């Protein structure tokens, strides 16, 4: 009986807290880069339909050795990028990763990605939930 209780308890604990209103990703894309490019960038829009802030703490992809979360900004006329440790998507809010702002940055893979290909990213949230995102490689200026 005690064992059953423990089992039940562990099931309850491992349930994602906000399973009813998961974070959503839209319009994910990877910018096609020339063959000489060292780094690639990806963009997407995150929507949080729930009443609680959601926090992205890590991003990975089977196509890249690692994925970094960056913010581009201009300080004293010089453009630079900063690592983002925690990306907060506010309750009932939207966060856009777009050129010139927040973005995902990856070292270019051995085999070049070309327009039309699909790339999967996995976003890990602070509460343990994972969000899988399919991004299309696109040719954009």
Contacting residues toward Cu ion, per CB under 5 A: 70, 81, 105
Question: Please, what is the minimum distance in Å from the beta carbon of residue 69 to Cu ion?
Answer: 9
Q: What angle do CA 106, 82, 117 make, to 5 degrees?
A: 20
Which CB sits closer to Cu ion, 46 or 105? 105
Question: Please, what is the minimum distance in Å from the beta carbon of residue 14 to Cu ion?
Answer: 34
Q: What angle do CA 94, 44, 134 make, to 5 degrees?
A: 125
DSSP state letters, 38-88? SEEEEEEEEE--SSS-EEEEEEE-TTSS--EEEEEEEETTEEEEEE-S-EE
Question: Please, what is the minimum distance in Å from the beta carbon of residue 103 to Cu ion?
Answer: 6
Question: Please, what is the minimum distance in Å from the beta carbon of residue 72 to Cu ion?
Answer: 7
Which CB sits closer to Cu ion, 41 or 89? 41
User: Is residue 24 a contact partner of residue 90, using CB atoms and an 8 Å limit?
Assistant: no
Question: What is the signed CA dihedral for 38, 67, 109, 37, rounded to 10 degrees?
Answer: -20
Token pair, residue 133, equals 């995102």
Which CB sits closer to Cu ion, 6 or 81? 81
Which CB sits closer to Cu ion, 17 or 81? 81
């Amino acid at each position: 009986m005690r064992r059953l209780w423990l089992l039940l308890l562990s099931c309850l604990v491992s349930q994602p807290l906000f399973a009813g209103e998961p974070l959503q990703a839209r319009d994910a894309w990877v910018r096609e880069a020339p063959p000489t490019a060292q780094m690639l960038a990806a963009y997407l829009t995150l929507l949080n339909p729930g009443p609680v802030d959601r926090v992205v703490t890590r991003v990975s992809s089977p196509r890249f050795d690692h994925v970094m979360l960056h913010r581009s900004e201009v300080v004293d006329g010089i453009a630079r990028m900063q690592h983002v440790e925690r990306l907060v998507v506010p309750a009932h809010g939207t966060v856009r990763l777009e050129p010139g702002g927040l973005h995902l940055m990856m070292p270019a893979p051995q085999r070049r990605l070309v327009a039309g290909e699909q790339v999967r990213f996995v976003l890990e949230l602070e509460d343990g939930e994972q969000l899988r995102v399919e991004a299309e490689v696109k040719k954009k200026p």
